[in-house]
Amino acid sequence: MTTTYELSHLRALEAEAVHIFREVAATFERPALLFSGGKDSVVMLHVAGKAFWPAALPFPVLHVDTGHNFDEVIEFRDRAVRRHGVRLVIGSVQDDIDAGRVVEEAGPRASRNRLQTATLLRSIQRHRFDAVFGGARRDEEKARAKERVFSFGDEFGQWDPRNQRPELWNLYNGRHRAGEHIRVFPLSNWTELDIWQYIVDEEIELPAIYYAHRRNVFQRDGMLLAHTRHVTLLEGEIPYQATVRFRTVGDATCTGCVESSAATPEAVVAEVAVTRVTERGATRADDRISEAGMEDRKKDGYF
């Protein structure tokens, strides 16, 4: 029994996220939860499930599928969705390419990351979602450090960092016009280490690629990329076997892995606690484009 009436920092963060989920469920008509199979979205789904216990989740899960996936992640996604008994809505980048709505980048370094934004916005529009939960955290990147929990996108899905609504106490203003939607980030105040500690505490299952495994990899731009059917090797790039794990899950063509022997959540926590490079810095080629890379993309509607 508690006598000091103190919450651990993880329970305080969980309570904050639960409050946000319930607030959205109470005040929006058509929310959806963005789910990639990445650890942040897995944790987000887990907390959402807890927020509405014993009832089922009152909103569906949305996956923006680049088509460039790790097989383990798709298999994991389908299992997670079944376990939570939620409806899965898929927005397919391939469909948008086939329909000519977007043009795929060419060349061996082509990535579908930028194309995701168009597919996301089209899915939101098509299903008339008025609130979309994202797993983004403020510790990931400088521009994200300034984004609100309720982040307002106009009808073009654009984020204007100069025109954000003040956000005070736990009084969120989700008012919007028809056709507009709000992005909601319940894990805003969590750090990478918090996420991992929570995964350990709650025994949350993740896709296997988060833990050390043997895989064919190759070096590119100072990063370690997986050699999958989705990438074309450049001259001089020689794949080799290594023991690696992924710190984030994204488009298989540009998500790097790190050499690691951490095969359990506990081992990952120990590793993260001493890591000296941010997870995006180490493993996301798409963020290295420029100093302002994330801010520009967020203005376009990227999560």
Partner 1 sequence: MPQLLRLATAGGVDDGKSTLIGRLLHDSKTIFEDQLAAVERTSRERGDDYPDLALLTDGLCAEREQGITIDVAHRYFATPKRKFIIADTPGHVQYTRNMVTGASNADLALVLVDARKGVLEQSRRHAFLASLLGIPHLVLCVNKMDLVGWSAERFSEIREEFSQFAMKLNVADLTFVPVSALHGDNIVHRSASMPWYEGTSLLHHLEEVHISSDRNLIDARFPVQYVIRSQQHDFRGYAGTVAGGVFKPGDEIVVLPSGFTSSVRAIWGPGGEPIDEAFAPQAVTVQLADELDVSRGDLICRPNNRPHLGTDVDAMICWFAEHAALRPGARYTIRHTTRTTKARVSALDYRLDVRTLHRDETTETLSLNDIGRIRLRTQQPLLFDPYRRNRGTGSFILIDETTNDTVAAGMITGPVLPAAQVVWQSTAVGRHERATRGLTVWLTGLSASGKSAVAVELERRLVAAGRPAYLLDGDNVRHGLNADLGFSAPDRTENVRRLGEVARLFADAGVVAVVSLISPYRADRELVRATHQAAGLPFVEVFVDTPVEVCEARDPKGMYARARAGEITGFTGIDDPYEAPDTPDLVLRPADGDPAAMAAKVLALLEG
Residues that bind partner 1 (CB under 8 A): 1-2, 4-9, 11-16, 18-19, 22-23, 25-26, 47, 49-56, 138-139, 142-143, 145-146, 161-162, 164-171, 173, 175-177, 188-189, 191, 193-194, 275-278, 281-282, 291-292, 295
Sheet architecture: strand order including 88-92: 88-92, 61-65, 31-34, 131-133, 181-184, 150-153
Task: Provide, rounded to whole angstroms, the least separation between the CB of residue 291 and partner 1.
Answer: 7
Task: Provide, rounded to whole angstroms, the least separation between the CB of residue 42 and partner 1.
Answer: 15
Task: Provide, rounded to whole angstroms, the least separation between the CB of residue 89 and partner 1.
Answer: 23
Indicate the residue among 108 and 281 with the shorter CB distance to partner 1. Answer: 281
Examine residue 186 and say whether the peptide bond preceding it is cis (omega within 30 degrees of 0): no
Label the pairing between strands 213-220 and 223-226: antiparallel
Task: Provide, rounded to whole angstroms, the least separation between the CB of residue 74 and partner 1.
Answer: 26
Token pair of 240, please?
């080799």
Indicate the residue among 22 and 227 with the shorter CB distance to partner 1. Answer: 22
Indicate the residue among 2 and 238 with the shorter CB distance to partner 1. Answer: 2
Beta bridge partners of 32: 132
Distance CA 303, CA 113 (A): 11
Task: Provide, rounded to whole angstroms, the least separation between the CB of residue 224 and partner 1.
Answer: 15
The contacts of residue 251 (CB under 8 Å, 6+ apart) are 66, 68, 111, 112, 113, 116, 286
Distance CA 46, CA 61 (A): 12
Task: Provide, rounded to whole angstroms, the least separation between the CB of residue 254 and partner 1.
Answer: 17
Indicate the residue among 7 and 289 with the shorter CB distance to partner 1. Answer: 7
| Whether the Cβ atoms of residue 251 and residue 225 lie closer than 8 Å to each other | no
Task: Provide, rounded to whole angstroms, the least separation between the CB of residue 269 and partner 1.
Answer: 13
Residues for the chain: how many in total? Answer: 303
Indicate the residue among 78 and 296 with the shorter CB distance to partner 1. Answer: 296
Indicate the residue among 39 and 230 with the shorter CB distance to partner 1. Answer: 39
Indicate the residue among 15 and 233 with the shorter CB distance to partner 1. Answer: 15
Distance CA 149, CA 171 (A): 11
